[in-house]
């Protein structure tokens, strides 16, 4: 009995792990009913050996699937072991892991068995049982099954903190090539529906405090990168559209892990594009927190992100006319854009300079990456930046940072 559960867990966790989303933040579900758990900032309880955050019990309800998406291990034509959890088994695992402080909650997804609604109903039943029978207030993320009815999506939003629909591929063309059973509209339409339902619920909550929550942590999506020939320009413009038009909380980029001999896809053994994935996350970070416009990061002339250096440094080198910046006078917004200075440090500089000039020595003590910042700041007497060409600066920085600023290949990175 327990061996069987363990086997199922190994199959259904293994099949779910390619969905890179791990976030458990953005919800504010409180433990007001003296029940179990709450959802707030999101904690990573562990990190796998590949350095990724483990925050949720991320599993499939089943890996049986009637579709045949080429990039997916669970595809119909793949000859693998199949398994399925019962609703009760998922509930028990979630509760018992949660009580031991292993996880923040559950991320439940599934292959499509019989049809979309049937599958979606099961996912909802798990969430509903947790919330009603176990007074569970931890985080629940449900994957929405493409093609599920709007009524079911509405119900899912009542129990879940976050819902997601994966766009899978950056373009329609790639989707048609690799996932012949799916159409991009089947994903965009429900995203639109969720967006409106979430906005409507926010309005409602403003009027009636007691109105039930609807997906308080919003929606997210994911696309596989490196399986198909799209440029970073196409990827980032799509992501930007999701942020701007769909109020998406997060877009995840999943570097394709070769799992198949299908000749439409990179062969097994091809390295996972981890640096590229990392650069995309850095670019995404610039869009969401640093006030960058997408066309400052990639454009027709530069459709690919530089793999040697991070996109913020890349932007600075293309815009040397904006530098050097006087850290004692410049706007916070501009200080944040100096390579080597992050949001925290920019705040510190702006706070400290009210008491007197911030000097080069102070910057060092603040823990700023002065080795890269120094080319872009003018309060630095030690170093003349005049007349250096972008390529020279890049070379200097790369030489100095051989090991120190190597990107860490993690979607959770905050490295600048």
Partner 1 sequence: MNTVVYDGSYEGLLSAVFEIYEYKINDACIVKKDEVNGSLFGAVHTVETNEEKSKRVYKKLKDKLTPNALSQLFKTFLSEEKNIENVLYRYIAYTLSSRVSVENNFSHPDVLMLQQTSRKVHREKHRMEAFVRFQLSKDGLYYSLIQPDFNVLPLISNHFEKRYADQRWLIYDSRRKYGLYYDLHKVEEISMQFSENMNDKNALKAIIDEKEELYQRLWQQYFSSVNIAARKNMKLHIQHMPKRYWRWLTEKKG
Q: Does 93 bind partner 1 (CB under 8 A)?
A: yes
Q: Does 82 bind partner 1 (CB under 8 A)?
A: no
Stretch that binds ligand SF4, among 63-71, 149-157, 205-213, 353-361 (CB under 6 A): 63-71
Element (H, E) at 209: none
Q: Which does 93 bind (CB under 5 to 8 A by kind): ligand SF4, partner 1, none?
A: partner 1
Contacts of 30 (CB under 8 A, 6+ apart): 38, 137
Q: Select 71 or 97, whichever has its Cβ closest to ligand SF4.
A: 71
User: Taking CB under 8 A as the criterion, which residues in 326-365 touch partner 1?
Assistant: 348, 351-352, 354-356, 358-359, 362, 365
Stretch that binds partner 1, among 67-75, 89-97, 108-116, 302-310 (CB under 8 A): 89-97
Q: Which does 257 bind (CB under 5 to 8 A by kind): ligand SF4, partner 1, none?
A: partner 1
Identified binder of ligand SF4 from the candidate list 42, 105, 111, 407, rule CB under 6 A = 111
Among candidate residues 319, 281, 285, 320, the one with its CA nearest the CA of residue 299: 319
Which strands form 139-143's sheet, in the order they lie side by side? 56-60, 105-109, 139-143, 162-164, 219-225, 250-255
Q: What is the CA radius of gyration of the chain?
A: 23
Q: Does 402 bind partner 1 (CB under 8 A)?
A: no
Q: Does 128 bind ligand SF4 (CB under 6 A)?
A: no
Site string for partner 1, 119-158 (x = CB under 8 A): ----------------x-----------------------
Beta bridge partners of 225: 255
| Residue 99: CB minimum distance to partner 1, A | 6
Among candidate residues 116, 90, 93, the one with its CA nearest the CA of residue 103: 93
Q: Does 36 bind partner 1 (CB under 8 A)?
A: yes
Site string for ligand SF4, 67-106 (x = CB under 6 A): x-x--x-xx-------------------------------
Q: Does 37 bind partner 1 (CB under 8 A)?
A: yes
| Residue 284: CB minimum distance to partner 1, A | 19
Beta bridge partners of 224: 254
Q: Which does 209 bind (CB under 5 to 8 A by kind): partner 1, ligand SF4, none?
A: none
| Residue 75: CB minimum distance to ligand SF4, A | 4
Tokens of 222: 């994911």
Long-range contacts of 361-369 (CB under 8 A, 24+ apart): 363/327, 368/340, 368/341, 369/339, 369/340, 369/341, 369/405
Cα–Cα separations (whole angstroms), residue 218 to 55, 236, 370, 389: 17, 20, 38, 44
DSSP state of 349: H
CA 326/CA 339 separation, integer angstroms: 14
Among candidate residues 199, 304, 204, 186, the one with its CA nearest the CA of residue 247: 199
Stretch that binds partner 1, among 29-37, 70-78, 233-241, 281-289 (CB under 8 A): 29-37
Identified binder of ligand SF4 from the candidate list 16, 39, 93, 112, rule CB under 6 A = 112
Residue 173 φ/ψ, nearest 5 degrees = -60, -45
* Secondary structure of residue 62 in the 3-state scheme: strand
SS (H, E, C) 84-130: ECCHHHHHHHHHHHHHCCCCCEEEEECCCCCCHHHHHHHHHHHHHHH
Contact positions vs ligand SF4 (CB under 6 A): 65, 67, 69, 72, 74-75, 111-112
Contact positions vs partner 1 (CB under 8 A): 2, 5-6, 9-10, 13-14, 16-18, 30-31, 34-38, 43-54, 57-58, 93, 96-97, 99-102, 135, 255, 257-258, 271-272, 274, 348, 351-352, 354-356, 358-359, 362, 365-367, 408-410
């Amino acid at each position: 009995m327990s061996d069987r559960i363990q086997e199922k867990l190994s199959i259904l966790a293994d099949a779910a792990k390619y969905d890179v989303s791990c976030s458990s933040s953005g919800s504010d579900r409180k433990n007001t009913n003296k029940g179990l758990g709450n959802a707030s900032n999101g904690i990573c309880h562990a990190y796998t050996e590949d350095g990724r955050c483990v925050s949720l019990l991320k599993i499939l309800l089943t890996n049986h699937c009637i579709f045949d998406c080429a990039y997916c291990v669970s595809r119909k034509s793949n000859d693998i072991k199949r398994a399925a959890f019962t609703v009760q088994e998922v509930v028990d695992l979630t509760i018992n892991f949660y009580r031991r402080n292993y996880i923040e909650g559950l991320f439940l997804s599934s292959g499509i068995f019989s049809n979309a609604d049937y599958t979606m109903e099961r996912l909802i039943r798990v969430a509903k049982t947790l919330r009603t029978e176990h007074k569970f207030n931890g985080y629940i993320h449900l994957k929405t099954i493409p093609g599920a009815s709007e009524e079911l999506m509405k119900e899912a939003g009542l129990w879940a903190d976050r819902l997601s629909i994966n766009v899978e591929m950056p373009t329609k063309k790639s989707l048609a090539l690799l996932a012949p059973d799916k159409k991009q509209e089947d994903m965009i339409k429900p995203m639109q529906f969720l967006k409106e339902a979430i906005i409507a619920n926010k309005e409602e909550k403003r009027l009636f405090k007691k109105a039930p929550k609807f997906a308080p942590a919003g929606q997210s999506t994911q696309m596989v990168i490196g399986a198909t020939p799209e440029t970073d320009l196409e990827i980032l413009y799509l992501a930007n559209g999701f942020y701007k038009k769909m109020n998406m909380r997060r877009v995840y980029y999943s570097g394709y892990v070769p799992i198949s001999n299908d000749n439409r896809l990179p062969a097994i053994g091809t390295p996972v594009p981890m640096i590229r994935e990392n650069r995309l996350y850095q670019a995404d970070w610039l869009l969401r927190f640093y006030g960058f416009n997408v066309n400052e990061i990639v454009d027709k002339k530069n459709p690919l992100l530089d793999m040697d250096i991070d996109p913020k440094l890349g932007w600075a080198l293309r815009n040397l006319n904006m530098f050097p910046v006087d850290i004692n006078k410049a706007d916070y917004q501009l200080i944040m854009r100096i390579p080597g200075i992050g949001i925290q440090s920019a705040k510190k500089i702006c706070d400290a300079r009210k008491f007197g000039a911030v000097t080069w020595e102070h910057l060092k003590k603040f823990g700023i990456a002065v080795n890269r910042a120094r080319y872009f700041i003018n309060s630095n007497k030690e170093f003349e930046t005049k007349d250096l060409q972008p390529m020279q600066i890049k070379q200097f920085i790369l030489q100095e940072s051989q090991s120190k600023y190597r990107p860490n290949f993690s979607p959770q990175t905050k490295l600048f």
